[in-house]
Amino acid sequence: MDVQYRLRGGMPLQGEVHISGSKNAVLPLLAASVLSDGEMVLQNVPRIRDVEAMLRILEYLGAATSFSPEGTVRVRTDRLRSKPIPEELVSRLRGSIVLLGPLLARFGIVEMAYPGGCVLGKRPIHAHIAGLEQLGARSMGNETMLHLQGTLQSQRVVLPEFSVTATENVLLAAALLPGETRIDLAACEPHVQDLQRLLSTMGAHIEGMGTHTVFVRGKTTLQGVCHRVAPDYLEAGVFVIAGLVTKGKVRLKGVEYEHLLAFLDVLRRCGGVWKYDDQEKTLFVDGELSSLRAMNIRTNIYPGFPTDLQAPMGVAMTQAKGVSRLFERMYEGRLAYLYELEKMGAHVEVLNAHQALIIGPTPLKGRVVASNDIRAGAAMVLAALSAEGETTVTDVRYIERGYDRLDEKLRALGARIERVTVGEQERREITQKAITRAVVGTV
């Protein structure tokens, strides 16, 4: 069975949307429950597949969990034990890697199959291993299983790169270690800072939040607390672009301006019209008044332009006047969505695995397109919203791993979007029709 979105474009989006809690923040926050001696309560949790997958892993290890319709998760880990986590639980959730640090710190051993998730080129885990080894762990894994064990001690840790999840793993481990751990080359993305705030509330003392050098003075016992998950700035970015490419007027509630600084600066310079209310934490996007011009995007570590907003911005480039340039620094597989955009009529020149040109504006046409990963899937939805005719976006399981009820939120803004489940035979027929239409279109 395949879940798909079917959309008809050309409708300006209008109205208000509330931004959900951060997908990238909530997974390490759930991992922090491993360190707690009481109940952990997380509010503003997005209802996405990755959260459900992480809860299943915690339950497999012995945790008691609940997830209310209002977005509150409760976790108790007093009966937790460390045991090998099988492939079927981690194969679709790369974020499960953040369990290495807390399980190792609490039990002295952690074993799991190699995590899966989106295919974005090579995403090695050497930074995780290097960070935890500097705390005293021994790596004893093989080609199919990760296996770390040892008694950890607070130390100076120099990460080999600005890895978000490796930083989170070392933070989680250090929070349970007495003494001071210094982390150099730490990532400082908003979701990393949200984890630091949670660990501080639980009882760890953390200095250097939001910087690349962080000091953690841990405690052997951390308390269960109530914490509200930070808003998802990546979801907010998608709705900003949705307003622009449909020439609509959209008001986003619950947005942290500082999290979107580089992104919004690019939009302002290329002709996007928006206004932010700091007191209300509200961002208003006026696509009707906007007139997009060519832009140059170079993704970078925070506070640079987010790699996770590169694909959505690629869609905006198709509607911008002139030659736009993309430079994806992080992942060599992250430009694959451009071939899907080409099916819809976009004028794209892929220079290499990291660079491309997009010439616009070009009218997009409805087609059958695929979701290559979470962010590329959101980009195809944005393209469909601005396209003429009907677009079918397949493999939306990727989208639903990272976006909380995206179809419902868009429908509330006036988008003509339908979520459908199709069988294998129907999926093949849709694919064959798409191939035939594409071949006829090139004759």
Q: How confident is the model at residue 428 (pLDDT cuts 50, 70, 90)?
A: low
pLDDT of residue 427: 57
Q: What is the pLDDT of residues 348-389, one digit of tens each?
A: 999 999 999 999 999 999 999 999 899 999 999 999 999 999
Q: 17: which strand partners?
A: 252
**Does 118 participate in catalysis according to the annotation?**
yes
Q: How confident is the model at residue 437 (pLDDT cuts 50, 70, 90)?
A: low
Kindly list the structural domains of the chain, giving each domain's residue range(s) and its CATH number in brackets, ordered by start. 2-20+231-442 (3.65.10.10), 23-228 (3.65.10.10)
SS (H, E, C) 127-145: HHHHHHHHCCCEECCCCCE
CA dist 98 and 26 (Å) reads 11
In contact, 43 and 68? CB cutoff 8 Å: no
Query: Of residues 118, 188, 226, 270, which has the active-site annotation?
Result: 118
pLDDT of residue 22: 97
CA dist 305 and 130 (Å) reads 27
Task: Assess whether pLDDT exceeds 90 at residue 430.
Answer: no
SS (H, E, C) 27-90: HHHHHHHHHECCCEEEECCCCCHHHHHHHHHHHHCCCEEEECCCCCEEEECCCCCCCCECHHHH
pLDDT of residue 426: 62
Q: What is the pLDDT of residues 110-142, one digit of tens each?
A: 999 988 744 444 457 899 999 999 999 999 988
Task: Assess whether pLDDT exceeds 80 at residue 440.
Answer: no
* Residue 334 neighbours by CB under 8 Å, 6+ apart: 120, 121, 307, 310, 311, 328, 373, 375, 376
Task: Assess whether pLDDT exceeds 80 at residue 431.
Answer: no
Tell me the pTM.
Answer: 0.92
Query: Alpha helix locations (H) across 144-232?
Result: 164-174, 190-202
Q: What is the pLDDT of residues 68-95, one digit of tens each?
A: 999 999 999 999 999 999 999 998 788 8
Mean pLDDT of 55-61: 97
Task: Assess whether pLDDT exceeds 50 at residue 283.
Answer: yes
CA dist 291 and 186 (Å) reads 38
* Amino acid symbol at 319: Q
* Residue 186 neighbours by CB under 8 Å, 6+ apart: 159, 162, 167, 170, 171, 192, 208, 211, 212, 213, 214
| % of residues, the chain, pLDDT over 90 | 88
> What's the chain's average pLDDT?
93
Task: Assess whether pLDDT exceeds 50 at residue 172.
Answer: yes
pLDDT of residue 432: 59
